[in-house]
A = this chain, B = another copy of it.
């Protein structure tokens, strides 16, 4: 802000005219269904409405810190995958400056015990993405954008694995991709692809007490961190 320091002190009021809110699309993959955490509220007429987890930026917080604190509040853990989408602007009901939402999306594993406890304490619900209704328009825009980003990003990085447990079967991975992308994938081709990518790693464990041939458990390779960071993958669906 070099430039602003000397010249713009008199216009500082212009900078502070927009309301800013942080909105967070929190995904999970419970029961092989892609779900989003929604917060329920009753309006004046007693109707129930839903919204994305959100908060305003508190004193001393960074914007990504606010997003992490939203995760902590609703999920109990703040260290899940979290990434910014972009800033959304809306006409303000009370100001001639737009209201601004900075959207984030997060990916959460719900087997975590911390998670379950918190979900019951707050007025919160996991809703399958294609069964969401009653979401206000501005949050719907953010949700749609997050889905588009999610679909793109699971194809060019390993971030999708953030929705799976530490140990997973290849079919679980396949179902994750099928569910999120809304496509059908050929089993044997998917296996070959993912195995020769060297992305996962046989854990020498197997499913137990299943009424069919037990599947092998795999875990993510350490190199995934690079793949995750650099978006070097290409699933090409």
Contacts and interface: CB of A to CB of B under 8 A. Distances in A.
A41 interface: yes
Contacts of A21: 4, 15
A214 to B, nearest CB: 38
Interface string A89-108: 11111001111101000000
Contacts of A64: 89
Interface stretch (A6-14, A29-37, A215-223): A6-14
A16 B18 contact: yes
- Chain A contact-residue range equals 35 or more
Interface stretch (A70-78, A80-88, A163-171, A180-188): A80-88
Interface string A136-170: 10100000000000001000000000000000000
A145 B99 CA distance: 25
Contacts of A2: 43, 49, 51, 136
B6 A44 contact: yes
A59 interface: yes
Q: How many copies does the complex hold?
A: 2
Interface of A: 1-6, 8, 11-12, 14-21, 41, 43-44, 49, 51, 56-64, 84-87, 89-93, 96-100, 102, 136, 138, 152, 231, 234, 236
A20 B19 contact: no
Most B C-beta atoms less than 10 A away, residue of A62, A136, A236 = A62
A2 to B, nearest CB: 6
Contacts of A62: 89, 91, 98
A97 B231 CA distance: 31
A102 B18 CA distance: 13
Contact of A96 (B60, B93, B102, B136): B60
Contact of A98 (B14, B57, B152): B57
B56 A15 contact: yes
A93 B5 contact: yes
B84 A3 contact: no
B85 A63 contact: no
Nearest to A138: B1
